[in-house]
Amino acid sequence: MTRHFLVDTDLSPSEQAEVLALAAALKKSPYSKSTFAGDGSGSQTVAVIFDKTSTRTRVSFAAGVAALGGTPLIINPGEAQIGHKESVADTAKVLERMVSAIVWRTYGQDGLEEMAANSRVPVINALSDDYHPCQLLADLLTIQEHKGTLAGLTMTYMGDAANNMANSYLLAGVTAGMHVRVTGPEGYLPAASVVAAAEERAALTGGSVLVTIDAAAAVLGADVLVTDTWVSMGQEAEKEARLKLFKDYALDDAALAKADAGAIVLHCLPAYRGYEIAASVMDGPQSVVWDEAENRLHAQKALMVWLVEQTAAEDALEAQ
């Protein structure tokens, strides 16, 4: 069975831990895996498709594929037939014959599902409107490095709590056994289906979920504080309204003062200082945002290796 990574819960708790351990190992020993070096079993190319702009995701996948002995094929918005001249399913059927994995940043989750349903090679969500699971692997690796553990920690996400990052913090956080609090204004909280999925996962791991409009309560004593832009890609027309809507949910010095004294601060970037995060917090001593950005590289290398190896292992079992 081909293993894909479209949403954080596509990895079980133990699988997520395996990927994070591999990421830590690859960070120490960056060239210890040569998954895409061409041993005759697959292509050396990984397709990395962007329907939205990117800095970190683009560079980390390009550098990561190269470090694993492969060649990244970056396809920028509007450069391929996908979406306008050709269906997602037909695109998948072509790509699976030429590449070892398909990485795709797009809008709807349904497109990723269609790609995965039609692809024998792993499909990886490089950000959709609903989730950003690769970012969460990097964030969890960063938290583990700085706090020494994940399970049992309290992580609070504040701001636009209905966006892709909020959803992924909930799902990936509880998968790691964390207590995840999410806070934002009424009407901008995670969908009931996401909360239900997170609660189901939390029941397995000992984690927990709290969704609240009370920002002060949400940050109280937290070990990890996180936020994200108030204006996600595709929401630019709503910018003025959104800057007002979330102003009581900024990660500023007052919020940080309510957290645990040893709390760390993460932001997936790009960040808008003075809006969702104060410059003094973003650039302050508790911020680990640059480690977090670097960890995109190590986490995604581990993810790609794991998906390719797991797919081969599961295929071999099925063939018996």
Binding residues for L-ornithine: 164, 228, 232-233
Give φ, ψ of 136 to 5 degrees.
-70, -35
What is the smallest separation between the CB atom of 294 and ligand NVA, expressed in angstroms?
Answer: 15
Q: How many residues in total does the chain contain?
A: 320
Compose the 255-294 pattern: x for residues touching ligand NVA by CB under 6 A, - for all others.
-------------x--------------------------
Number of chain residues interacting with ligand NVA (CB under 6 A): 10
Residue (209 or 265) nearer to ligand CP, CB: 265
Residue of 74, 80, 162, 233 that binds ligand NVA (CB under 6 A): 233
106 forms bridges with which residues in the sheet? none
Using CB atoms within 10 A of its CB, is residue 243 exposed (0-12), middle (13-18) or buried (19+)?
Answer: middle
| Binding status of residue 102 toward ligand NVA by CB under 6 A | no
156 binds, among ligand NVA, ligand CP, none (CB under 5 to 8 A by kind): none
72 forms bridges with which residues in the sheet? 46
Residue of 35, 125, 167, 229 that binds ligand NVA (CB under 6 A): 229
Catalytic residue among 3, 268, 300, 310: 268
Residue (127 or 255) nearer to ligand CP, CB: 127
Numbered residues of the known binding site for carbamoyl phosphate: 54-57, 81, 105, 132-135, 268-269, 296
Measured CA to CA in angstroms, residue 266 lies from 4, 295, 308, 316 at distances of 26, 12, 29, 40
- Residue 46 Cα to chain centre, angstroms: 19
Strands (E), 214-258: 224-227
d(CA 243, CA 97): 45
Compose the 158-197 pattern: x for residues touching ligand NVA by CB under 6 A, - for all others.
-----xxx--------------------------------
212 forms bridges with which residues in the sheet? 183
DSSP states along 202-270: HHHHT-EEEEES-HHHHHTT-SEEEE--SS-TT-GGGHHHHHHHTGGG-B-HHHHHHS-TT-EEEE-S-
| Binding status of residue 175 toward ligand CP by CB under 6 A | no
| Binding status of residue 135 toward ligand CP by CB under 6 A | yes
Determine whether 135 is an active site residue.
yes
55 binds, among ligand CP, ligand NVA, none (CB under 5 to 8 A by kind): ligand CP
Determine whether 181 is an active site residue.
no
Residue (59 or 210) nearer to ligand CP, CB: 59
Measured CA to CA in angstroms, residue 239 lies from 57, 115, 183, 231 at distances of 23, 31, 20, 6
Q: Which two tokens stand for residue 83?
A: 């979406």
What is the sign of the dihedral through the CA atoms of 278, 279, 280 and 282? positive
Residues 11-40 close enough to bind ligand CP by CB under 6 A: none
Catalytic residue among 3, 4, 58, 105: 105
Compose the 114-133 pattern: x for residues touching ligand NVA by CB under 6 A, - for all others.
-------------x----x-
Residues with Cβ < 8 Å from 283, sequence gap 6 or more? Answer: 273
Residue of 57, 144, 168, 205 that binds ligand CP (CB under 6 A): 57
Instruction: Kindly list the residues in this chain that would bind ligand NVA in the complex (CB under 6 A).
Output: 127, 132, 163-165, 228-229, 232-233, 268
**Positions marked catalytic:** 105, 132, 135, 228, 268, 296
Instruction: Kindly list the residues in this chain that would bind ligand CP in the complex (CB under 6 A).
Output: 54-57, 127, 135, 268-269
